[in-house]
Structure 1
């Protein structure tokens, strides 16, 4: 996984008014915390942060006041109408340290013939992985699966260095039979006549 470099400035103003002024200047308020250190309030360039967050579980090399730190996004708050980033919580990590992250579940193959449907019970699965080697996604084969089959978290193959960090018996995917719609009663009588 590639590191993305961002430069931040320490934030000295707090509150709604200060946050609005920051956002109008195309900056995003953020907080960096972790490893028992005091939280550091910063501002990040809005467009560069938006591009960085397009990659799931991105590793960011953050420069603040001449000091570098590796961080991953822990929480991203977006404007519900515009989709703009309003605030970000960043967690400090170190090389070799394991972190718990949500990883996207992707499928390959086709279900058994017969009109069965694949239901995503969970779109992601929680794994513990080295901070510098976080998988972008995990892939599950659904080839030939029939109705009534479920894929549990423990059944998902994980990349080397990653360990399942959630309930192994949690259902992630389920194959269900397609529902056949019953014809209305009036149509059946008309067919008999």
Structure 2
């Protein structure tokens, strides 16, 4: 798991006007919370934070007024049109501590021939992992799957030290038939349809 060092500054101004001034200075307003401590309002360097957040569940080593702390992103607000960062919530973590996060699910292989559709019921899998060893993603083989097949949470191999934070039988992926009705209708004769009526 990657760790990114960011220099943080304590923030004393609040409200929309203050947030706009912070963003104009190429910084991002943030809040650091956790472990029962009072939330700490921060500003973080915008470009470095944007690069860090490209990695899901990135571990951020914050340096604030001579003290260091580890945190993971819990909520990221982006401008809906331009995509720039508006605000970030960070959760304080410690080495050895277990945290609940969601990790992306990647697929490998090809479905069986026949024009089937793969539905991602969950784009990210809820897991519990050690804070400094959160997996970046999990891979699932879909090789040869066809309509009606599904991949359940319990079917996914997790890295050591990581456990599911969702029901074992939760559906993560399922395979659908793209045109299930048409071939069935064509294969049946008109007489059989009349018999069904």
TM over 0.5: yes
The residue aligned with 1:79 is 79
The residue aligned with 1:139 is 139
Q: Partners of 1:177 and 1:159 in 2: how far apart?
A: 32
Structure 1 segments of 4 or more deviating over 6 A? none
Pairing 1:1-193 to 2, within 5 Å after superposition: 1-179=1-179
Aligned-pair CA distance for 1:2: 2.4
Q: Partners of 1:44 and 1:81 in 2: how far apart?
A: 22
SS in 2 for 1:154: helix
RMSD: 1.2
SS in 2 for 1:157: coil
Q: Partners of 2:139 and 2:40 in 1: how far apart?
A: 37
**Residue correspondences, number:** 182
> Over residues 41-65 of structure 1, what are the superposed CA-to-partner deviations in whole Å (9 max), with x where a residue is unaligned?
0100111100110111100000011
TM-score, normalization by structure 1? 0.91
SS in 2 for 1:179: coil
TM-score, normalization by structure 2? 0.89
**What 5-or-longer segments of structure 1 have no aligned partner?**
183-193
Aligned-pair CA distance for 1:20: 0.9
